[in-house]
Structure 1
Amino acid sequence: MSTIRTAQPKNSPSTSGPTANGLPPAAASTPPSPQPQPHANRTEPTEKLRLFVAIPVPADVASDLQSVVADLHIAKHQRTTGFDTNDADINTASSRNRPATRAKPSHHTPSSPSQKSMRGRASGRSSRMVSHDRWHLTIAFLGKVAPPAIPAVTDAIRRAAQRSHPIELAIAGGGRFGRGRYSVVWAGIDGDVDALVELALDVRSELTASGLTPDSKQFRPHITLARPGDRITNQQASQDLLTLRRYHGPTWVANQLVLFDSNYGHQPKGEAPAYRPIDVVGL
């Protein structure tokens, strides 16, 4: 079993352990760095990990958005049916041959298809909300990676981070992509989006140069809020999207990247996947 090499952030903030759900215990406007966790409790040394690189959303920023999300139809529907058990904001690596492309610097970057695909269904079905303490901005999704390759992953992230800098961001706007049962409601990103796009493309480029295969879909900066599919009506969906598009949250400075293991295979049935921080790299 390989040993994880921990990348030390430049101007590293004070560090505390991860919360119970595996996410960094974000506070104020800068999330404290989570402690990387070893693989000692793994039953199979060669078991692959489901990895992604992300920027955590600070607790105060998430709380501000949550105060708005709580009044959306997707949240009201959720309270009658329970929480989602698949809330990872991770892109599937279904297209690895297309190069990542630059997104326009706008908080409305992800496209929103027609509302017609959201049809009401019988009550009692969850709108699959993502818990606000799990919100994060995915930079790159790697999929399943063998533990011996983790040092190469962290080295690639570090090289990209060294060419970047702390980035001022804000959650603003929102929309929906996907159709029918696959639709996703998201919140957009505002601020220094140019620098964010540069960072994401650089991280993916370094990962690819290291022999890894990150998802090559176009980078669309967003925070996944829910996967309601067609569980709410057309009118309810339109009202929710209008509210999100009017939202502009507080700014924060993103100064670290976190490599997460999204552990689906070891969670009890009905529980959300555990996000386990593997490494933290400062910007």
Structure 2
Amino acid sequence: MNVKNLRLFFGLPLPHRQAEAIDRWCRELGLDGRPVARRNLHLTLTFLGSHSVERLAELQCLGEGIRGNAFEMKLDRLETGRHGLVCLGTGQAPEALLQLAGELQRLLRGAGYTLDERVFWPHLTLARDCRNPPLPASVPDFCWRAERFVLFHSTSDAQGTLYKPLFHWPLVTPER
């Protein structure tokens, strides 16, 4: 199969244990929509949409030019969005996260990419198309150290959607 266009986004991957814990908690909610598979749990930094495979080298160079700081990411709110979206959000977005997302958007726009104009909303999608908002038995409290960001390629097949990491870049721990 000759792929010419790729559906791409930058995001923060979850450590395996954190993805398992969130997946377990999410299953207890009994959501009536389409749940996100554990292997696909992530926090989107910026969505690019469909782009030519020839632009991958440009995106790789762009990612290499970012010097973001590592940070603690805490997800402590259950939130709902448009069209039945259910997700985990944060009561206080880390400054390093906001800087990383802002720098990515600035560089991408400078390179001619058209991005969503909505304000960055840090969240981790749990399910889509939910008709009834869930009432959790416990308040979410998930935390992990974000130490890298990734360019993902979204693919679909008979088994569903899969977010494949194409490139990743480290976030540095600031000196104290």
Q: Is this contact kept in 1: 2:40–2:162, CA < 8 A?
A: no
Count of residue correspondences: 171
Q: 1:176 aligns with which of 73, 80, 93?
A: 80
Distance in 2 of aligned mates of 1:184 and 1:149: 30
More strand by share: 2
Which of 130, 134, 141 is equivalent to 2:40? 134
AA at the equivalent of 1:56: P
Contact 1:262/1:274 (8 A) holds in 2 = yes
What whole-Å deviation, never above 9, does each CA across 1:130-179 have from its counterpart, x for those lacking one?
1222100000111111111111112222222x1x111111221111011x
Residues 220-241 of structure 1 deviation map (CA, whole Å, 9 limit, x = unaligned): 00010011432x4xxxx2524x
| 191 and 60 in structure 1: CA distance in 2 versus 1, 3 angstrom threshold | farther
Gap runs ≥5 in structure 2: 172-176
Kindly provide the CA deviation profile for residues 69-118 of structure 1, in whole angstroms up to 9, marking residues without a partner as x. Answer: 222131xx5xxxxxxxxxxxxxxxxxxxxxxxxxxxxxxxxxxxxxxxxx
Query: What are the within-5 Å matches in structure 2 for residues 1-283 of structure 1?
Result: 42-44=1-3, 47-74=4-31, 77=32, 127-160=33-66, 162=67, 164-178=68-82, 182-189=83-90, 193-230=94-131, 232=132, 237=133, 239-240=135-136, 243=137, 246-249=139-142, 251-264=143-156, 267-268=157-158, 271-283=159-171
The answer (yes or no) to whether the contact 1:168–1:191 under 8 Å persists in 2 is no
Cα deviation for residue 191 of structure 1 reads: 6.1
Q: Mark the CA change 1:191 to 1:167 in structure 2 (over 3 Å): closer, same or farther.
A: farther
Is the Cα contact below 8 Å between 1:167 and 1:192 reproduced in 2? Answer: no
> 1:85: which partner in 2?
none
3-state DSSP class of the match of 1:273?
A: strand
What amino acid does structure 2 have at the position aligned with 1:273?
T
Asked if the contact 2:8/2:49 (under 8 Å) is kept, the reply is: yes
Measured after TM superposition, the shift of residue 274 of structure 1 is 2.5
Q: Which runs of 5+ in 1 are unaligned?
A: 1-41, 78-126
The 3-state SS of whatever aligns with 1:211 is: coil
CA apart distance, 1:218: 1.4
Equivalent-residue separation in structure 2 for 1:59 and 1:199 (angstroms): 22
Alpha carbon RMSD of aligned pairs, Å? Answer: 1.9
Equivalents in 2 of 1:72, 1:174: separation in Å? Answer: 11
Q: CA deviation at 1:190?
A: 5.4
> Residue 198 of structure 1 aligns to a residue in which SS?
helix
Cα shift at 1:263: 1.7
Report deviation, 1:60. 1.4
**Is contact 2:48-2:115 (8 Å) kept?**
yes
Calculate the TM-score normalised by the size of structure 1: 0.56
8 Å CA contact 1:157–1:207 kept in 2: the answer is: no
Shift, 1:52, TM fit: 0.4
Percent identity of the aligned residues?
Answer: 25
Instruction: Please state how far the C-alpha of 1:192 moved relative to its aligned partner.
Output: 5.5
Rounded Cα–Cα distance in structure 1 between residues aligned with 2:7 and 2:28:
33
CA distance in 1, matches of 2:128, 2:5: 27
Task: Provide TM-score, normalisation by structure 2.
Answer: 0.87
